[in-house]
Amino acid sequence: MCGIAGWADWSKDLTGEKDIIQSMTKAITHRGPDADGFWYSDHAVLGHQRLIVIDPEGGLQPMIYEDTNQKIALVYNGELYNYIELREELENKGHRFKTKSDTEVLIHAYIEWKEDCVQHFNGIFAFGIWDDHLKKLMLARDHLGVKPLYFAERGQSIIFGSELKVLLKHPLVEAEVTAEGLSEVFALGPMRTPGNGIFKDVKEIRAGHYSVFTAYGQKSVRYWNLKSESHRDDETATAEKIKGLLEDTVKHQLIADRPVVSMLSGGLDSSGLTAIAGQEYRSRNKVLHTYSIDFVNNDQDFKEDFLRRDKDEPWVKRVAEHVGTEHHSIVFDAQKLVDNLLVPMRARDLPGVGEIETSLYLLFEEMKKDATVALSGESADEVFSGYPWFHQEEYLNGGQFPWLVNLGYFTDILSDEARLKLQPEAYRQKRFKEAVNEVAFLEGESELEAKQRQMSYLFITRFLPFMLDRKDRASMMTGFEVRVPFCDYRLVEYLWNVPFELKSIDGIEKGILRRAFKDYLPDDVRNRKKSAYPSTKDDAYLKGISSWMTQILEDEDAPILPLINQDRVRAISRGEDQEIQGDKARAILDYLVQINEWLKEYKIKISL
């Protein structure tokens, strides 16, 4: 795992621009604290920050390949889980390797197949390749978009990098946000529109896409998509297929030259992956280390809600003992969460979901002390249709993104002027219709099946990117890599066509996954109802962010003030608003505090 940066320009000589590319690259030292590297040519300069996971000596970047016919330069962030098989295939085609790194496999794959190289990869990746003889730049991103990649076009310049802060270090890219960018922030929240970089004329390479830039223009290609067809396997074959795919995926994702551990919440997803990984470790006479998160006084503060049915820790202990892991429970108090609220915002260069992201960052910070890589159960709910929204008519027929159906109050706090200019409801509808128009419905499926397929598409392409962004930025801020086996594109392709009634067999969400884990988990763990990522219930947290918001409201220079209904937000901060209280108040205040500090710290110019 690493951070990448680059700049190509077909109209000027860049060999003297070392200070700029170095500044861009150093902005993401946290993504790769182990080493850095730079490459300079007349029309392209590249930078790389390295987090060593595979082949410490041989994986240095930028990596250059040169012979009499070509000169190729690569910067790459990610892991190719099938690099050993790919290397063998390429060797059979006559390629010769000097290292044991997946980076070298990637560059040879490009030499062999050019842009079609992405069709051969199974992994998580974002990379930039400069073909010096053809003066051509290729930017590509993995199937599900696990690894980030942003770019900006400025005249004849293409500026790109792993995070937005890379681009903002370039003098041609300003921290400017238009009405569209603010609509993303206020109308959609952290669940951005794919491809939208929030800042003016900044974009991201979409998941499953690559773009090629030359002096004559740009082309963007979607190399992977979800194809709808009838599912023909019965329930037994389906469960076995899922089990086999997950076993193969976990085995490949345990490959590393640095310690690999596992996140464990006691829920179905992380427990199943932990059990598979634990078995693989036992076969190597090793013990898997696992990690969970908890909060001070959670035993007395915990309250059951729509998403959190029970406490994680008893289940964590149950699974750790069953699998035989060495477990570590990381505990935080409310004040530490308040004190670190802005770290995830700085990690993603955008406001996020507050306390939930903060605790995730703090967890990774602790895990980094013992390891470099972790497995995570992220995305199982999206690809297995595990959320309650998949069977609730209110959400299936809601006519908007399901996670926003009950979040209208997020725009209720806008000022009249901001609401008029941003038109948040209309913006939501526009983006929702765009997403629905992309869905490949299956001829002959019922209206309910079509709605469930639509719901699945929305979660995979609109909600999951937020979850992956959150995990990538929170982990990489600490120089820590998180792998997500449920995002293996083979599994996602297969599950896309498994009917919801089969996914939820046995009358429980993700029933087919529970069957797939039958040989790995005890029945009580397999049948535990879904409980979302833990959140502190300590009243001290709400008091802390309420006080912070009150200070912002009293600062006449606070940049958020023209955008919000100050009287309404003040009432929320004081606990006097009749509609927005408790968890709703926490969510809105978390977000508004971040927006204000984002506008201030990044010195953002607003152009409405």
Contacts of 328 (CB under 8 A, 6+ apart): 289, 290, 291, 292, 366, 367, 370
- C-alpha 74/C-alpha 139 separation (Å) is 10
Class of residue 301 by CB neighbours under 10 A (exposed 0-12, middle 13-18, buried 19+): middle
Residue spans of beta strands (DSSP E) within 382-486: 481-483
The gap between the terminal CA atoms of the chain, to the nearest Å, is 38
- C-alpha 343/C-alpha 369 separation (Å) is 18
Please report where in the chains the tokens 């006449």 appear, as a residue: 556
- C-alpha 459/C-alpha 453 separation (Å) is 10
Helix, strand and coil in the chain, % to nearest 5: 45, 20, 35
Beta bridge partners of 292: 329
Q: Which of 592, 380, 371, 379 is nearest to 475 (CA)?
A: 371
- C-alpha 14/C-alpha 20 separation (Å) is 10
Please report where in the chains the tokens 């200019």 appear, as a residue: 421
Cis peptide bond upstream of 62, omega within 30: yes
The three-point CA angle 305-308-313 to 5° equals: 135
Q: Is 2 a residue of the active site? A: yes
Identify the active-site residue in 1, 2, 367, 553: 2
Identity of the residue numbered 296: V
Exposure string of 542-565, with b = 16+ CB inside 10 Å and e = fewer, is bebbbebbeebbeeeebbbeebbb
Per-residue CA distances from 236 to 58, 239, 314, 380, 503 (Å)? 44, 5, 31, 19, 12
Residues belonging to the active site: 2
